[in-house]
Structure 1
């Protein structure tokens, strides 16, 4: 969906934002640590807010895929699936 440079920017922004907070990290730092220029941010994401939205959307999509895959490997019984889902949440995500 994004160029290789856009993916690098997204990956580094994700790491920094989760480690230090969105408001604490500027796009200059993301650009410097990712080795990708600020124009790439604007070309790929438009704004910092859109970058944050892309990070959150990716995380949501990943979680939905993980949950679906986990439940697909469970018996089709609804009660068992619900309990299995709680077990998955208790174990946490990597």
Structure 2
């Protein structure tokens, strides 16, 4: 279980710059979560601590993923507004006879 924690904690977030990179890494984290469930319990003294460590690492990953997609959506909304403004300009010019 410690190794699984280390794997999730070692994720290089700077390398996750695209939608597909985040989705691939998400599938890896989900696979690690499923593996965690099949391993069984750690020794009683360590079980709560190791689970909290793992949960924190996973929560951190999904929080950063949410932040990435939020900024991606904001960028898309900005682009949408620019496209709408361009369409409005084109609509205003469609009947123009002043071509110069």
TM range (shorter): 0.3 to 0.5
Q: Which has the higher contact order (CA 8 A, sep 6+)?
A: 2
TM-score by length of 1: 0.41
TM-score by length of 2: 0.39
Which has the larger helix fraction?
Answer: 2
